[in-house]
Chain A
Amino acid sequence: MSTTLPRNPPAPVRPRAVSEVPGTSLHPVSARRAVVVALGALVGAVVLGVSIGPADVSFSAALRVVASHVPFVHFHSGVSRIDADILWQIRLPRVVLGGMVGAMLAGGGAAFQGVFRNPLADPYLLGVAAGAGLGATVVIVAGSRLSEILPLAAFAGAVGAVTLTYLIGATVGRQATVSIVLAGVAVAALLTAIQTFLQQQHAPDLQAVYGWILGSLTVATWSDVLLILPYVAVSALVLMAHRRLLDVLRVGETEADSLGVRSSRVRLTVVAAATLGTAAAVAVSGLIGFVGIIVPHTVRLTTNASYRVVMPVSMIGGAAFLILADVAARTVLAPSEIPIGVVTAFVGAPFFLFVLRSRRVGRST
């Protein structure tokens, strides 16, 4: 894919990218430092995520349980069966799944913001949320026998919605990005209308539908992790491979085309990859909002605006953020759960405002 990349990094792009965020530098050191900080945050989040939960299991017990599952190492954890099950079967898959979902939502958000050159773009922009919501609702109201295929239906709904958006939007008008975004709004509205109708007609299922829409990692299992792993891996690889091209797209489509980048093809590839990853994430976690906006922007505001940095740091940071949000979701009111979407918005919005404000202050002084 990256063969379309001009041999030399496009010279006209860099000054502009820097000028958008004053006070940032593109020294590789700062990029490396950003990755290191993000990785540190991720490790911290995983440690917290594994050691904190409604069930009281000590951190050393947690370590021993994890060690006992390392292949080819015969180590007996000495932890009671129930505690071992809680850690290995319930808590750990939740942490891992949270990380994957967070990485996908943040990476997808960064990708969409780049492709559509719109700071408000999030991974749900083209109808992923509405499509997944409709797919899930159809399965929930259709009855119990189908509940195993819920993730599949949500995934199909999400991918279907974005395909529809793209087919409509990319063929209309000259300004492709604008018409795709508008088509996304229309498709989302249409699918949401159908979803709301179904939900309203099946009031007894309201709780199940509502619970799914709010997003949750409550029932995460290893099989969920395995289910979405291929999509997440492919999506992450493709997005990473295209991060330099996203930088090129920032100058505008015409300019990018003149630089030898086939912008419409890059757009399609990036949108397809981001959609695949986001749809897989949403299929197992429901609709967790806000991650795709605040994480990439926080990365942009604190490091620099080049997608070479924004993409990997957003993914790592998104993983850390969602794992931490889930720790809050399951401990603040333990043993009750708070919908994780509530946590991401409640914690994320003020934090984002804080970052935004501190950048402004830094700029004026």
Chain B
Amino acid sequence: MVKRSHRTLLVLCAGLGLLAAACSSSSASPTGAGSSVSGSFPTSISAANGTVKIKARPHAIVSLSPTATEMLYAIGAGSQVKAVDKYSDYPKNAPRTNLDELAPNIEAIVSYRPDLVVVAGDSTALTGRLAAFGIPVLSLPPAVTLADSYVQYHQLGRATGHVQAADAEAAHVKSQIATIVQEAPKSEVGRTYYYELEPSYYSVTSSTFIGKVLGILGLRNIADDAPSVASSGGYPQLSAEFIVQSNPDWVFLADTICCGQTAQSVAARPGWSAMKAVRQGQVVGLDDDIASRWGPRIVELLQTVETAMSKHPAGT
């Protein structure tokens, strides 16, 4: 999947000179001080954790956010990355360490002598603690909308000196998504789906990032039907009865890696065999990791869903 989309990208690059700038930056080649380097230092960026001041172009970035890691490599800042956390499993050549944002060890982080630390939240008050060492922290919290995620490319671009490449990458993601939405069969608009985070029926509503992303394909989320899910912060645990009675047209499994769920295992669940999605073979496995991030690979996830939808247009 990863390779395929990369090849698609290269083909696109060869074909369209227009996108050359975007492509050169989004290829995974270790770009150092390439042509895409831009931006000026010192700079200050307004982020979730306040104004982040960066004195000079960083060359020892520590990323504690798997999404930020993917974005850094996508905008051509990969060569400036010195260490990534234990969950940053993509791209494969990222310097993975045992660091963990949820249990940060200040000494371990400082020992990499970073000149920029990127995090996905700041629940552990890293900003303040690393400020004592003069290390700026850039917090890029989970995006709620695609627009949020595009802003983060820009913030990372400014923080690393790759503004143009970052903006081009954001635009590229945007245009790929637009293409997928265009190709999606219109007959599926208004069809319902159940999105599974975990086999005990934890799901998402359309107020979450992934819910919004699937929503742009015109699908309707069964979890939105109940007013009470508002109290769940967008991640309700649904009742099996409710899911079965809602009789969704599609089931998307974001628990294939964590919990080994497949179309077969869903069909084997007691009481699920009469569900439309199961009868019509419309249970789609997604990559848990991609589905929980808001980086460039969201395009792949959307493509997986669109491909499945095109293969099974409604009414057949």
A residues in contact (CB < 8 Å) with B: 53-56, 81-83, 85-86, 88-91, 93, 143-145, 147, 200, 203-205, 207-208, 211, 216, 218-219, 221-223, 330, 333-337
Contact = CB atoms under 8 A, between A and B. Distances in A.
Interface string B266-287: 0001111111000000000000
B87 A86 contact: no
Interface of A is mostly: helix
B260 interface: yes
23 contacts: A53-B239, A53-B241, A54-B239, A82-B244, A82-B247, A85-B273, A86-B241, A88-B271, A89-B271, A93-B270, A144-B256, A144-B258, A144-B260, A203-B100, A204-B288, A207-B197, A216-B200, A223-B270, A333-B231, A335-B236, A335-B238, A336-B226, A336-B231
Contact of A147 (B228, B237, B259, B270): B259
B228 to A, nearest CB: 4
Contacts of B270: 85, 89-90, 93, 221-223
A203 B87 CA distance: 9
Contacts of A218: 200-201, 237, 239-240
B199 A86 contact: no
A78 to B, nearest CB: 16
A208 B239 contact: no
B13 interface: no
B232 interface: yes
Interface residues of B, number: 43
B199 A55 contact: no
Contacts of A88: 271
Contacts of B241: 53-55, 86, 90-91, 330, 335
Contact of A334 (B201, B242, B261): B242
A91 B271 CA distance: 10
Contacts of B226: 334-336
B229 interface: yes
Contacts of A89: 270-271
B87 A204 contact: yes
Contact of B240 (A90, A144, A207): A90
A85 B260 contact: no
Contacts of B228: 333-336
Contact of A90 (B100, B102, B223, B244): B244
A90 B202 CA distance: 16
Contact of B198 (A211, A333, A336): A211
Residue from the set B223, B225, B228, B247 with the largest chain A CB neighbour count within 10 Å: B228
Contacts of A203: 87, 100, 102
A337 B238 contact: yes
A219 B239 contact: no
B2 interface: no
Contacts of A221: 269-270
B204 to A, nearest CB: 12
Nearest to A208: B198
Contacts of A82: 244-245, 247, 274-275
Given A147-B260, A218-B201, A335-B239, A90 B271 contact: yes
B189 interface: no
Nearest to A329: B239
Interface string B200-243: 11100000000000000000000101101101100011111111
Contacts of A211: 198, 200, 202, 237
